[in-house]
Amino acid sequence: MPEKSVANIGVVGLAVMGSNLARNLASREGNTVAVFNRSRSRTDELVAEHPEAGFLPAYDYEEFAATLSKPRTAIIMVQAGKGTDAVIDELVQVFEPGDIIVDGGNALFTDTIRREKAVRETGINFVGAGISGGEEGALNGPSIMPGGSDESWVTLGPILRSIAAVAEGEPCVTHVGHDGAGHFVKMVHNGIEYADMQLIAEAYDLIRRGTGKSPAEIADIFAQWNKGELESYLIEITAEVLRQVDAETGTPLVDVILDQAGAKGTGAWTVQTALDLGIPVSGIAEAVFARSLSSKPAQRAAASDLPGPSESWKVSDPDAFVEDVRKALYASKIVAYSQGFDEIVAGAQQYGWDIKKGDIAAIWRGGCIIRAQFLNRITEAYAEDAGLVALLTAPYFREALGRTQEAWRRVVVTAAQAGIPSPAFSSSLAYYDGLRADRLPAALVQGQRDFFGAHTYKRVDKDGVFHTLWSGDRSEIETEPSTH
Ligand SMILES: NC(=O)C1=CN([C@@H]2O[C@H](COP(=O)(O)OP(=O)(O)OC[C@H]3O[C@@H](n4cnc5c(N)ncnc54)[C@H](OP(=O)(O)O)[C@@H]3O)[C@@H](O)[C@H]2O)C=CC1
Ligand SMILES: O=C(CO)[C@H](O)[C@H](O)COP(=O)(O)O
């Protein structure tokens, strides 16, 4: 093994995220960064393009380990899944007890739990850290959501604080919890990201089809919205995307982009995990499904001549409609975040993590894709009441929903009448109405379950578990809860 040992931190995986994170690390006082990538060309390119970073390139894992001072710290930024396992398998061969391996990719949190357990047995520390902010965030300061042991956090904390985004004077990083907690929270962050993006897309579609405004005019509306309570990175970049003109055709870029949304999987994981935990993240789910629906060209083509509304639709007061859409967007956004935080609470309970909800909202204020002013209100809500059972019932959100809900209803009705799909707007409203309902038709569902499967039910007027003898004399008996 070569005897170099001069870098205090290393990065494995030098694609978009890894190369920018390595540059971010190198730009901080006192850091010397070792870099390694499976394909040599990426390493060479990065080192050649950024001599100012003073990178120490390594071309195999032995050299990478030898370049790092002990205890070694390496951040993996590779394709999540098999790529992560492949790199960990290599690193544990050349690292020693006390060293730290950080996985900064978008790993599935259950994989992180498994990896942390396996790597810990070698004496090496393993930390799964969610990192958000894309290329620009990785370079200038992302939001970082590390899990892992308290011991690892002592070493990693100062490094991660030094490279994280700063919001209102505070670094956007906190020790989220043990083992997979960081990747769990990053997963939910991405689920909320999906919902936020879908809601914005629905707002754009309704305004465009309802008022006939051009993408550039709608860009102006979004830029205006970005000065108020909707202020956020996603609203800001939406205005930029809508203003962009395609150089080749001279038409708005948004009109030449194929309308099939991709997905790498974190949104689907959020929904799958929520289903396992029994948490209704309906707004996030609709956002995931909306991408799936968009990416079914054969089905869409086959359905394109199905009948729509018989009357053509035109908004009579465009300004009032735009304002209604803004309010519907804000109300639906509150629902998406409330659902996301419900999932974090349920995950923390299930996996034994002590996750501070207010701290999570605080580290999402800068660096990440869902960064927004609005997150301050979430931190405040949990500071006022750490045991808040549903975020949307906090005083600030209660007031906001109170003043937006009539507009929200008008927008959902209008969308349905006009035949414009607004799955995230409408499912969020249904969730809101479901949650606030005195009584739900779930009572009837229980009756149906008892009828066909003797699944039993509880009563509102007395304790116990009951079953009606549906195929007998239809009298009611007290019984044990159904186990089938
Ligand atoms: N792109 C983004 O905006 C964000 C991405 N992330 C996450 O960060 C991670 C990195 O993302 P990104 O930079 O986009 O890169 P990619 O997800 O596109 O992954 C490419 C990198 O993974 C390496 N790799 C793949 N398989 C292996 C393997 N078996 N062994 C070793 N290396 C392997 C590639 O090496 P090679 O060059 O040899 O092919 C390359 O360096 C991912 O987990 C991603 O989900 C997180 C936040 C934002
Ligand atoms: O983690 C991220 C941002 O937070 C990545 O950008 C992620 O890839 C986005 O997800 P998708 O590609 O599924 O839209």
Residue 310, marked binder: no
pLDDT digits (tens, 9 = 90+) for 267-291: 999 999 999 999 999 999 999 999 9
396 within some domain: yes
Residue 339, marked binder: no
How remote is the C-alpha of 360 from its chain's centroid? 12
- Contact predicate 163/21, CB 8 Å: yes
Distance CA 19, CA 139 (A): 8
* Residue 404, both tokens: 């937006």
Could you give the number of structural domains in the chain?
A: 3
Residue 189, marked binder: yes
Do 192 and 209 fall within a single domain?
yes
Segment 151-164 shows an average pLDDT of 95
Do 223 and 89 fall within a single domain?
no
239 within some domain: yes
In this predicted structure, the answer to whether residue 68 has a pLDDT above a threshold of 60 is yes
CB proximity list for 99: less than 8 A, separation 6 or greater: 70, 71, 72, 73, 74, 124, 125
Segment 172-183 shows an average pLDDT of 97
Segment 213-230 shows an average pLDDT of 98
Higher pLDDT pick, 297 / 481? 297
Distance CA 10, CA 259 (A): 39
State ipTM: 0.98
Long-range contacts of 414-420 (CB under 8 A, 24+ apart): 414/206, 414/210, 414/313, 414/315, 414/321, 415/202, 415/206, 417/309, 417/313, 418/209, 418/210, 418/309, 418/313, 419/308, 419/309, 419/313, 420/205, 420/206, 420/209, 420/210
Do 274 and 379 fall within a single domain?
yes
Residue 325, marked binder: no
**DSSP assignment string, 252-308:** BHHHHS-S-----SHHHHHHHHHHHHT---HHHHHHHHHHHHHT-HHHHHHHTTS--
pLDDT digits (tens, 9 = 90+) for 421-473: 999 999 999 999 999 999 999 999 999 999 999 999 999 999 999 999 999 99
**Best mutation site among 11, 12, 14, 17 for ligand 1 pocket (most ligand atoms within 8 Å of CB):** 17
Q: Is the CB of 266 under 6 A from ligand 2?
A: yes
Distance CA 277, CA 348 (A): 11
Do 380 and 248 fall within a single domain?
yes
Among all bound ligands, the one having the nearest atom to the CA of 269 is 2
Do 451 and 313 fall within a single domain?
no
CB proximity list for 133: less than 8 A, separation 6 or greater: 140, 141, 142, 143, 165, 367, 368, 369
| Residue of 90, 116, 186, 333 with catalytic role | 186
Nearest by Cα to 181 from 353, 64, 320, 47 = 353
Nearest by Cα to 190 from 139, 133, 146, 140 = 133
CB proximity list for 326: less than 8 A, separation 6 or greater: 203, 225, 230
Q: What is the band of 5 on the pLDDT scale with cuts at 50, 70, 90? A: low
Long-range contacts of 353-356 (CB under 8 A, 24+ apart): 353/176, 353/177, 353/178, 353/181, 353/184, 354/177, 355/176, 355/177, 355/181, 355/185, 356/174, 356/382
Distance CA 242, CA 253 (A): 7
Segment 191-205 shows an average pLDDT of 98
Residue 109 Cα to ligand 1 middle (Å):
17
- Look at residue 480 in the predicted model and tell me its pLDDT: 85
Q: What is the band of 248 on the pLDDT scale with cuts at 50, 70, 90? A: very high
Do 215 and 303 fall within a single domain?
yes
Q: Is 193 a residue of the active site?
A: yes
- Look at residue 314 in the predicted model and tell me its pLDDT: 82
In this predicted structure, the answer to whether residue 2 has a pLDDT above a threshold of 60 is no
Residue 193 Cα to ligand 1 middle (Å):
20
* φ, ψ of residue 282 in degrees (nearest 5): -60, -35
Distance CA 346, CA 326 (A): 30
Nearest by Cα to 411 from 420, 402, 398 = 420
Q: What is the band of 4 on the pLDDT scale with cuts at 50, 70, 90? A: low
Amino acid at 415: A
Q: Is 70 a residue of the active site?
A: no
In this predicted structure, the answer to whether residue 3 has a pLDDT above a threshold of 80 is no
- Look at residue 311 in the predicted model and tell me its pLDDT: 83
**Best mutation site among 190, 192, 292 for ligand 2 pocket (most ligand atoms within 8 Å of CB):** 190
In this predicted structure, the answer to whether residue 320 has a pLDDT above a threshold of 70 is yes
55 within some domain: yes
Q: What percent of the chain has pLDDT over 70?
A: 99
Do 343 and 375 fall within a single domain?
yes
Do 263 and 411 fall within a single domain?
yes
Do 339 and 243 fall within a single domain?
yes
Do 236 and 255 fall within a single domain?
yes
The CA–CA distances, whole Å, from 158 to 71, 175, 329, 364 equal 15, 11, 38, 18
Q: What is the CATH number of the domain that holds 263?
A: 1.10.1040.10
Do 408 and 423 fall within a single domain?
yes
Q: For 135, which DSSP code? A: H
Q: What is the band of 177 on the pLDDT scale with cuts at 50, 70, 90? A: very high
Segment 297-303 shows an average pLDDT of 98
- Look at residue 14 in the predicted model and tell me its pLDDT: 98
Mean pLDDT of the chain, nearest integer: 96
Residue 70 Cα to ligand 2 middle (Å):
33
- Look at residue 1 in the predicted model and tell me its pLDDT: 45
Q: What is the CATH number of the domain that holds 62?
A: 3.40.50.720
483 within some domain: no
181 within some domain: no
Segment 128-144 shows an average pLDDT of 97
The CA-CA-CA angle for residues 328, 330, 331, to 5°, reads 65
Q: Give the domain range for residue 459.
A: 441-478
Do 279 and 328 fall within a single domain?
yes
Q: Nearest residue CA, atom 3 of ligand 1?
A: 134
- Look at residue 310 in the predicted model and tell me its pLDDT: 87
Q: Which atom of ligand 2 is nearest to the CA of 264?
A: 13
Dihedral sign of CA atoms 192, 197, 202, 204 in order = positive
Give the residues across from 321 on adjacent strands: none
Q: Is the CB of 18 under 6 A from ligand 1?
A: yes
| Residue of 116, 193, 202, 343 with catalytic role | 193
pLDDT digits (tens, 9 = 90+) for 366-397: 999 999 988 999 999 999 999 999 999 999 99
Max Cα-Cα span within the chain: 86
